[in-house]
Amino acid sequence: MSIVTLLTDFGLYDQYVAAVKGVILQIAPKVTIVDVTHQVAPHNVLQAAFVLRQVFDCFPAETVHVAVVDPGVGMVRPIIAARYSGQFIIAPDNGLVSLVHRDFVLEELRAVQNPMLFRKNISASFHGRDILAPVAGHVARTGRITEVGPATDKLALLNLPTAAVAADGRIRGQILYIDHFGNALTNIERADLERAARRRSGLSVKVGEQQVPIHQVYGQVPAGTPVALVGSANTLEIAVNQGSAARQLGLTAGQDVTVE
């Protein structure tokens, strides 16, 4: 009884996700399939990498994560199968694993090349259904990636923005992700904040021209008021209590943030 997760930019309007699920179930009928999201912005690999990292440690050992966000479908770019800290990822080799790679242990890496595992007819535009799905079904059923193809050490990784702590204790970071509540998730870690807090008290966040106080929970400020806190990703998050920080403060992914 194993688990396969799906992370794509296929949306929920078409039948593409269902086609992938059907092919997985043809091969591994007892698998439990979980949708991570299918609403990654089309071809946005960084967003997909972030989302994959966020859910990764919520799943049990041997979970098979299939991620298909792939501007290069049909072109000559490899598909990889990796084992990180006991879980599997199957994805195009375009940097999708970058944040998991940063935070977990790479135990095995293979190029997906064994055509015996693919669907009989491979379309030019739907490798998710024709290659990744049947390979995922196989990995879920066997619990290993040994058969998918040869070991490799080539792995595309994204150039990730990282937060920097200055000598005076200021932390400079970036917004990585805006969620559907309008909360802005940054790359500033709890540990850096705690170190900074030991030097200075009354820390606040500066984003654009706006100064936002840091608290423990949303509800420590009145409804409609901006607040920053260490969020569920264990990083600094900018929110508005019962409102949308993205709309109210005009925040976007990529924007600079300073803690001072």
Residues that bind its own copies (CB under 8 A): 1, 3, 5, 7, 10-23, 25-26, 29-30, 32-39, 42-43, 51, 54-55, 58-60, 63, 71-75, 121, 123-126, 129-130, 179-181, 216-219, 229-232, 234, 237, 239, 242
CB of 202 to its own copies, least distance (A): 19
Tokens of 254: 């990529």
CB of 48 to its own copies, least distance (A): 10
Q: Which is nearer to its own copies, 123 or 146 (CB)?
A: 123
CB of 176 to its own copies, least distance (A): 13
CB of 123 to its own copies, least distance (A): 4
CB of 209 to its own copies, least distance (A): 25
Tokens of 160: 């990730």
CB of 237 to its own copies, least distance (A): 7
Q: Which is nearer to its own copies, 219 or 254 (CB)?
A: 219
Q: Which is nearer to its own copies, 75 or 116 (CB)?
A: 75
